[in-house]
Amino acid sequence: MPAALSNPQKRYLRGLAHELKAIILVGAKGVTPAVVAELDGALGHHELLKVKLSAEDRETRDAWIAALAEQTDAALVGRIGHTAILYRRRDDKPLLTLPHG
């Protein structure tokens, strides 16, 4: 389970993510082991990224986001519509330094 992010940390990460493009796309098949593996590798490389979900109803998107965060040990920074922002700190040589708070 990732450490909970404070509101200032989430705000900081959302600001950094603003310029990012979604690099993981979750299609009609939903959260598959292949999607989880791809997201796990991407988080290990980038730490902060956007995930685009194709589900039309909000409940399905919420379930998919929760499953992705849980299975990759990532924290949900924020979401807007079909896009979620996920963060997982690297153990070795972190790229981002979070503000205290």
- The CA distances from residue 57 to 15, 63, 82, in Å, are 26, 10, 10
pLDDT band at 97 (very low <50, low <70, confident <90, very high): confident
Does residue 80 sit within a domain? yes
Q: What are phi and psi of 47, to 5 degrees?
A: 75, -45
Could you tell me if residue 90 is left (phi over 0), alpha (psi between -120 and 50 degrees) or otherwise beta? beta
Does residue 56 sit within a domain? yes
Does residue 95 sit within a domain? no
The one-letter code for the residue type at 11 is R
pLDDT score at 3: 63
What range defines the domain where residue 52 resides?
A: 7-87
| Strands 22-26 and 48-53, sheet pairing | parallel
In the chain, the DSSP E strands lie at 22-26, 48-53, 75-80, 83-87
pLDDT band at 93 (very low <50, low <70, confident <90, very high): confident
pLDDT score at 94: 82
Query: Does 101 score more than 70 pLDDT?
Result: no
Write the CATH number for 31. 3.30.110.60
The tokens describing 79, both together, are: 């979401």
Does residue 96 sit within a domain? no
pLDDT score at 100: 79
Average pLDDT over residues 30-49: 94
Does residue 78 sit within a domain? yes
pLDDT score at 99: 83
Does residue 92 sit within a domain? no
pLDDT digit string, tens, across residues 1-33: 456 899 999 999 999 999 999 999 999 899 999
Nearest alpha-carbon partner for 13 in 49, 38, 67: 49
Q: What is the pTM of this model?
A: 0.91
Q: How far apart are CA 54 and CA 8, in angstroms?
A: 29
Overall number of domains in the chain: 1
Is the Cβ–Cβ distance between 53 and 84 less than 8 Å? yes
pLDDT digit string, tens, across residues 57-83: 999 999 999 999 999 999 999 999 999
Does residue 2 sit within a domain? no
Does residue 70 sit within a domain? yes
